[in-house]
Structure 1
Amino acid sequence: MNELEKKSIAQTERHAFRNYQGGYFKTLISPEQSGGSLAILDLVLPAGAEPPPHIHTQEDETFVVLEGKMEVRIGNASVKLEAGESIFAPRNVPHSFKILGEKARLLNLITPGTMWAYFMAFSEPCVGEPKVTKSLQPPSPEQIQSMISVLTNLYQLKFV
């Protein structure tokens, strides 16, 4: 297999949908494509798949709502966002979000893009058409411990 074929396969894998937290996502720009500067994920998540309040010590995040509604808390401020609206969550400031309704589609811009690897590690390739699972199965205690360990030790994320 030549280098062009390898890059084509990697490109296809990056842009394939992946199951994540009862929803799915695809990578629009990987850290590899941006020299590590950023990653952009196109996520569709069901209500209940939101992370607990946390602080990124190494990354900034920007959320752009494409479909649905979300309430985003950054520090002590809370903002409701609808399709077409966005918000910036700087590093070292606690933030969280809540999906208002059954599901939301959003772009997540992560700068720098290193945390993209977390999403890849804790997701699985979609088989068939991607879909939101109506009955969200929570991760097992072992999966939760693994996720917490990776987030806190590798990405220096703090839960509040």
Structure 2
Amino acid sequence: MKPIRTFNILGETLEILVDGSMTGGTSTTMIQTTPSGGGPPPHCHTREDETFTVLDGDFEILSEGEWRKATVGEIFFAPRGSVHTFRNAGTTTGRIAIFISPAGIERFFADLAGLTPAADMPRILELFSEYGLSLHHP
């Protein structure tokens, strides 16, 4: 499926395949391309559940305070309220599919695109709060 929107955020590429306008607000599906060593910071959603499937590469998943390996085809579920993240533990670029329910997070990515921590950290933190997200230490 061809992406309907693509965002470049902090060195990661997010391709939105299905958004809330297509699902009546029930879900968003995207693919995140992550360089070696990359991945989002540990975070928590108050509104969304996320299901991840590793498509390419070797990833590690942080869930319930523990890191575990996740290879191609493995699925990981992060319910709302859980602190989680993933990182590309391989030596090449990896891809991970993410199913998010309900939809709406795509607006967060649109607002976040183009911002950099060095110049825009107050706005980034404001966006996290607006969208019901919080950052956590690993």
TM over 0.5: yes
**How far apart, CA to CA, are the structure 1 residues paired with 2:89 and 2:38?**
12
The total of aligned residue pairs comes to: 134
**How far apart, CA to CA, are the structure 2 residues paired with 1:33 and 1:120?**
17
Contact 2:54 2:71 in 1 (8 A): yes
Change (3 A) 1:140 1:55: closer
Q: Which residue does 1:159 correspond to in 2?
A: 135
Sequence identity (%): 28
**How far apart, CA to CA, are the structure 1 residues paired with 2:51 and 2:4?**
20
Structure 1 counterpart of 2:127, one-letter code: V
**How far apart, CA to CA, are the structure 2 residues paired with 1:91 and 1:122?**
20
Matches within 5 A, 1:97-112: 97-101=86-90, 102-112=92-102
- What is the TM-score when the length of structure 2 is the normalising length? 0.84
Of Structure 1 and Structure 2, the greater helix share is in 1
Matches within 5 A, 1:90-129: 90-101=79-90, 102-123=92-113
- For residues 21-80 of structure 1, give each alpha carbon's deviation from its aligned partner in whole angstroms, at most 9, with x where no partner exists: 223222110011111111011111113442221111111111111000111011134321
Structure 2 counterpart of 1:146, one-letter code: R
- For residues 3-36 of structure 1, give each alpha carbon's deviation from its aligned partner in whole angstroms, at most 9, with x where no partner exists: xxxxxxxxx9x62433232232221100111111
* DSSP 3-state at the match of 1:55: strand
Matches within 5 A, 1:10-159: 15-101=4-90, 102-123=92-113, 139-152=116-129, 154-159=130-135
Larger Cα-atom Rg: 1
Structure 1 counterpart of 2:35, one-letter code: P
Runs of 4+ in 1 over 3 A off after TM superposition: none
